[in-house]
């Protein structure tokens, strides 16, 4: 279990740049985290940018070490997957609901949580805000995790917020690197 926790800390290492903990609820059996950014694009364009996940996701938070190995098929039953160099692969999340330009919801346990008795749901909502789009990311996870999921809530929140900041930079500046 020490190895699993070390992997979890590596996978969920705190990103550089702005990250704010928005842990809405946290307990040993589960947590809900939420982050928000506003991007300079219409909701449909922001949604399409999100679906191009391999272009903006941080390679440090992949198993293969290269975000270009990530793909997202934004339709029910679609996969947020990662191809591995050895021919293998990982299903990070499965798409369970889509409303293009508005909402995409995916189910699954992220990263090392897959090795435990945890289930999760990640929802991305895209709402017009004048000439911009507000993107809300909510991730809830629950189940069994030795030592309690509450210890991971702020780490997961920070990592997911870091990914959202990269998406914002990708949409606004054409590059996932924060300025």
Which residue in the block uniquely carries the two structure tokens 């903006």? 56
Q: Tell me if 179 is assigned to some domain.
A: no
Distance CA 167, CA 33 (A): 17
Q: Tell me if 128 is assigned to some domain.
A: yes
User: Of 4 and 32, which is predicted with more confidence?
Assistant: 32
Q: What percent of the chain has pLDDT over 90?
A: 84
Q: Tell me if 163 is assigned to some domain.
A: yes
Please compute the mean of the pLDDT values over residues 85-105 and round it to a whole number: 97
Would you give the DSSP letter of residue 14? P
Comparing 21-25, 142-146, 166-170, the range with the smallest average pLDDT is 21-25
Domain range for 109 is 34-173
Number of structural domains found in the chain: 1
Question: Virtual CA dihedral for 43, 46, 47, 51, nearest 10 degrees?
Answer: 170
Q: Give the pLDDT band (50/70/90) at residue 13.
A: very low
Distance CA 11, CA 110 (A): 10
Q: Tell me if 106 is assigned to some domain.
A: yes
Query: Residue 94 is part of a domain; what is its CATH number?
Result: 3.30.530.20
Total-model pTM = 0.86
Q: Tell me if 157 is assigned to some domain.
A: yes
The length of the chain, given as a count of residues: 179
Q: Tell me if 21 is assigned to some domain.
A: no
pLDDT value of position 177: 83
pLDDT of residue 179 exceeding 50: no
User: Of 17 and 46, which is predicted with more confidence?
Assistant: 46
pLDDT value of position 178: 55
Q: Tell me if 27 is assigned to some domain.
A: no
In this structure, what are the phi and psi dihedrals at residue 14, rounded to the nearest 5 degrees?
-65, 130
Q: Tell me if 94 is assigned to some domain.
A: yes
Q: Give the pLDDT band (50/70/90) at residue 83.
A: very high
In this structure, what are the phi and psi dihedrals at residue 56, rounded to the nearest 5 degrees?
-130, -20
Distance CA 72, CA 91 (A): 10
């Amino acid at each position: 279990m020490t190895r699993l926790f070390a992997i979890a800390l590596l996978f969920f290492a705190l990103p550089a740049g702005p990250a704010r903990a928005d842990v809405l609820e946290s307990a040993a059996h589960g947590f809900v985290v939420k982050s928000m950014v506003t991007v300079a694009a219409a909701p449909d364009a922001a949604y399409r940018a999100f679906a191009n996940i391999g272009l903006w996701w941080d390679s440090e938070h992949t198993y293969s070490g290269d975000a270009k190995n990530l793909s997202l098929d934004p339709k029910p039953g679609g996969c947020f997957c990662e191809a591995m160099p050895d021919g293998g692969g990982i299903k990070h999340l499965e798409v369970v609901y889509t409303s293009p330009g508005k909402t995409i919801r995916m189910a699954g346990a992220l990263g090392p949580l897959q090795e435990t008795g945890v289930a999760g749901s990640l929802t991305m909502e895209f709402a017009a805000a004048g000439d911009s789009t507000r993107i809300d990311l909510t991730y809830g996870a629950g189940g069994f995790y030795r030592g309690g999921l509450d210890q991971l809530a702020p780490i997961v929140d920070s990592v997911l917020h870091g990914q959202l900041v990269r998406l914002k930079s990708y949409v606004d500046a054409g590059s996932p690197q924060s300025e």
